[in-house]
Structure 1
Amino acid sequence: MAEKKKNVLLLIADDQRFDTIAALGNPQIKTPNLDRLVKMGSSFTEAFIPGGTSGAVCMPSRAMINTSRYLTSWENFGESIPDDQALLGEQLKDAGYNTFGIGKWHNGTRSFARSFTDGDDIFFGGMWDHWNVPVNSYDPSGKYDHLRHFTQDPFSSNRTIELPAEKINVGVHSTDLFADKVIETIEHLDTEEKPFFIYGAFLAPHDPRTMPEKFKHMYNPENIDLPPNFMPLHPFRYDIRGERDEQLVAYPRDPKVVKQQIADYYAMISHIDSRVGDILDTLEKEGRLDDTLIIFTGDNGLSLGQHGLMGKQNLYDASIRVPLIMAGPGIPKDHRVAGKALLLDIMPTILDYTGAAVPAGIVGHSLLPQINGQDDGRDTLFLQFTSKIRGVVNKDYKLIEYRTADGSHTQLFDRHKDPYEITNLAFAPEYRETLDDLRHQMRDLAATLGDLDFSQGKLFWSREEKI
């Protein structure tokens, strides 16, 4: 008799960056349950997103998770997924899994319908008031056509949008709403039925940074350390000040205000952590903990005062590095995985782990060999943010090139000596050869990954600066 396939639980936080788990090196944050998950499994020390094609970075990021395709694969930034692109949930469904979608789905109703056989409290949007999220029950027809009008930001704009919305659980925080639904799903699973895939996607710790009273005063901002790369202003303008995220805190950035922002951010993560603990406890109570692959990650990071920025519309580590923890049968325990990984590697990793078919057209690869020490991970990553920034990162250096309405700039950082990316080496004569090599790597990677306008020098580079 064939061995029963392992279950899969994928949990995704919104805007949670890589350095926000106590067990992975942050003594100021309280995350006992994520620490427990770290001890249960393997944690990647260099998990990245490659950047974003939209100011709403989470939209293409989640599209990459669910398709294992690259950032440039969608004309609408991942707001919807073409029918000819295979999806993670769809592949698992075809492999005999019951697939459940819960929480935030930022990539269109058709792709959700293709991915899941069930689910609830589904939010087809990006960000919202955490206490009043417009959600949907699972629709077997896949139509999700009950559109409702909402004022997107009633305190500063008259702009209205339409979203599929069936109900609002008034006064229930989004983290509790979605965690409770994950728990309820686990509790009501038929143990004799097919294996399950649960996709649980949080809205936190994305702003507005509000949380239940229990967590509201967990962190005293006076005791929060500013990051070593805190700056009142970014070293130069690069056509980013109009982004919504950058307008949350006045210029120049006030250290006290930034400390409060970080305290609130940590509080929201501790709230998620508490509910992750409840989910782990439920798996254990239901006898599912030992036969389930559990993955916890974030869709992108957040600056919160680093380099004088507040958002994720940049290519600094704080914005493009995320937590990535995997625990389950056969995954080494309390293990740190060196080498670079991308979130688009999650899909082929799950498919490899479960024995499901790997579709053509994906660019990710399974991380299981890397976890088991049989592979060193990706050598070099191509980075991009909209038409404004391009970059490349390898083991030793990161190069970032800006060509915007506010001017052209180049940054080169030594990743070993300068992990906070403070000292720009781009104009030091002894790094000229390194700079040239990285520029050529960046051009070649751009061509490989479909950023043809950039690789051919047509995007925003002047003739003199073409690389």
Structure 2
Amino acid sequence: MTTYLRYLLLILCFPLSVLIGPNAVSAAEKPFQRPNILFLFSDDQRADALGAYQNPHIQTPNLDQLAHAGFSFRNAYCMGSIHGAVCQPSRAMLNSGRSLYHVPMDLKGVKTMPQLLKESGYTTFGTGKWHNHRESFQKSFTLGTAAFMGGMSNHLKVPVVDLKDGKFENKRMGEKFSSELFVDATVNFLKTQPADKPFYAYVAFTAPHDPRMPPASALETYKDKQPPLPKNFMPQHPFNNGWMTGRDEALAGWPRQPEVVREQLTEYYAMITHMDSQIGRILKTLKAQGLDKNTIVIFSSDHGLAVGSHGLLGKQNLYEHSMKSPLIFKGPGIPQNESSEALVYLYDIFPTVCDLTQTSVPSGVEGLDLAPIWRGKQKGVRTSLFTTYEDLMRAVRDDRWKLIRYPQINKTQLFDLKTDPAELKDLSEHPEQQARIEQMLTTLKEWQQKTDDKQPLTSEHPKSEKIDLTGRKRKPDAHQPDWIVKKYFDSE
């Protein structure tokens, strides 16, 4: 045998790992391990109601830790709503990846995010608030425990149901505070998950949505240290925006009393603090089960809430406090303690999850993948962002300027968010801003055309913007427990 043949035989007999190194073989042979997705979703939580987001007046240690260990999007928005229950369209958009005027509220005929993951091999689990009808929950989840099919409820008496083998069963009234009820269900689910099959867990809290009835232990946290009034607190909104006396706005009298707003804000914060403690139980279980290393944790909320800002209480307006939500991604491959000011929608989460799980994005999804932002490949996904509420308000913003248009009263507001993030100084009457207003109105109309919003921006017969609600009292709500009615209403 020649020397050449001996050398060739030696090469063929050697293991490939000896010739090119063991890492090359393992990298080639090791398949992509699809991550678990744990989605924590609160209800009515303002983007600034988080300690990690420079708010020293609220206690959220577990969410703060999540933010420090993950990547935050500081300009995350709900696009808006076609009716007063903003949480319903927000969740429809989130779970479909579609914009407001392109998605039915019952998600009929739409591929949902959990449905897509279920069809691609994930175990999908849902608990808590599902405000988009029973059938869409059935098609989306492998199983569900303590699922709430409504919009709001007494937190100690939440009507819930379980899902098993595609059928609902065990309809009952929850016997624990809502956040504890949903977290118990999640903890039990996590304890049964094998390491070799990925899961998607959707945990949709009803906190801090009213009725604001925090457990005494959470309220004690704020004893003798109530949070201050919002910087943009007003006794009454300066003009009639068209939704001044709706359900949410009737939860306090007019003019708004500082002590009443501070009390409601304290209860609101306490609800979030209690929810945060329960989220801590989930994260602790995730780690104890050895699932944390391959789990992407997402935290967000369906929209914000005024709670006294601009003289308003609810989310039926287009100010930053009501349309923005916290948004955090944490997990393998995601930078720690970093953030972005990119303009994003909550429905961008859908294609981002597709990226993270290597799942094809279905047709009809309009959201944009956010992962390239934290990977350093791009700074943003859009240059402007559009929000809308009923036929009453339309808004558009870019990286600095924001315009709000009120079609029913032919009124425009313009804010410089860089110098005035609290939206206190309306610049719409300044002569030097008229060209900017025209340009932003053009951008707004482009968004309307793109999203099939048919609302005219001008009324031929405008309503009066003047309104005076002085002396009007708050109204009790059917969902409020007797003790809340007694506390707030019997004295009036």
Normalization by structure 1: what TM-score? 0.90
Q: Which residue in the other structure is 2:171 paired with?
A: 166
Cα distance in structure 2, aligned partners of 1:168 and 1:27: 36
**Please, which of 136, 145, 156 is the counterpart of residue 161 of structure 2?**
136
Summarize deviations over 1:296-321 as a string: whole Å, max 9, x none: 00001000010000000000000001
Cα distance in structure 1, aligned partners of 2:429 and 2:458: 21
Report the AA paired with residue 417 of structure 2.
R
Report the AA paired with residue 27 of structure 1.
P
Summarize deviations over 1:362-390 as a string: whole Å, max 9, x none: 11011001122222222101111001101
Q: Which residue in the other structure is 1:123 paired with?
A: 148
Distance 1:324-1:35 versus aligned 2 partners, 3 A rule? same
Secondary structure of the residue aligned to 1:138 is strand
**Please, which of 378, 385, 389 is the counterpart of residue 389 of structure 2?**
385
Summarize deviations over 1:162-214 as a string: whole Å, max 9, x none: xxx811123x100000011111110111234x210001100000000112221
Runs of 4+ in 1 over 3 A off after TM superposition: 220-223
Secondary structure of the residue aligned to 1:395 is coil
Alignment check: 8 A CA contact 1:91 1:357 kept: no
Q: Which residue in the other structure is 2:34 paired with?
A: 5
Rg larger for: 2
Secondary structure of the residue aligned to 2:449 is helix
Q: Which residue in the other structure is 1:278 paired with?
A: 281
Aligned-pair Cα RMSD in Å: 1.7
Distance 1:463-1:437 versus aligned 2 partners, 3 A rule? farther
Report the AA paired with residue 298 of structure 1.
S
Alignment check: 8 A CA contact 1:174 1:204 kept: yes
Q: Report whether the alignment pairs 1:333 with 2:336.
A: yes
Identity %, equivalent residues: 40
1:121-270 equivalence runs, <5 A: 121-142=146-167, 144=168, 166-170=171-175, 172-192=176-196, 194-220=197-223, 223-270=226-273
1:353-364 equivalence runs, <5 A: 353-364=356-367
Q: CA deviation at 1:464?
A: 10
Secondary structure of the residue aligned to 1:446 is helix
Secondary structure of the residue aligned to 1:166 is strand
Q: Which residue in the other structure is 1:461 paired with?
A: 459
Q: Which residue in the other structure is 2:80 paired with?
A: 51
Secondary structure of the residue aligned to 2:341 is strand
Q: Number of paired residues? A: 433
Distance 1:305-1:374 versus aligned 2 partners, 3 A rule? same
Q: Which residue in the other structure is 2:350 paired with?
A: 347
Alignment check: 8 A CA contact 1:246 1:309 kept: yes
Cα distance in structure 1, aligned partners of 2:83 and 2:350: 22
Q: Which residue in the other structure is 2:60 paired with?
A: 31
Cα distance in structure 2, aligned partners of 1:116 and 1:225: 42
Distance 1:116-1:464 versus aligned 2 partners, 3 A rule? closer
Cα distance in structure 2, aligned partners of 1:365 and 1:93: 21
Report the AA paired with residue 48 of structure 2.
D
Q: CA deviation at 1:221?
A: 6.7
Report the AA paired with residue 348 of structure 1.
P
Summarize deviations over 1:143-170 as a string: whole Å, max 9, x none: x4x8xxxxxxxxxxxxxxxxxx811123
Report the AA paired with residue 341 of structure 1.
V
Q: Which residue in the other structure is 1:73 paired with?
A: 102
Summarize deviations over 1:423-447 as a string: whole Å, max 9, x none: 1000110100000000011001100
Alignment check: 8 A CA contact 1:220 1:263 kept: no
Report the AA paired with residue 345 of structure 1.
D
Q: Which residue in the other structure is 2:293 paired with?
A: 290
Cα distance in structure 1, aligned partners of 2:204 and 2:239: 35
Q: CA deviation at 1:341?
A: 1.0
Report the AA paired with residue 235 of structure 1.
P
Q: CA deviation at 1:462?
A: 2.8
Cα distance in structure 1, aligned partners of 2:418 and 2:64: 26
Cα distance in structure 1, aligned partners of 2:318 and 2:341: 21
Q: CA deviation at 1:394?
A: 0.7
Secondary structure of the residue aligned to 2:342 is strand
Cα distance in structure 2, aligned partners of 1:418 and 1:462: 32
Q: Which residue in the other structure is 2:443 paired with?
A: 441
Q: Which residue in the other structure is 2:45 paired with?
A: 16
Report the AA paired with residue 276 of structure 1.
I
Cα distance in structure 2, aligned partners of 1:265 and 1:227: 13
Cα distance in structure 2, aligned partners of 1:333 and 1:14: 25
Alignment check: 8 A CA contact 2:226 2:266 kept: no
Alignment check: 8 A CA contact 1:105 1:122 kept: yes
1:354-433 equivalence runs, <5 A: 354-377=357-380, 378-404=382-408, 407-433=409-435
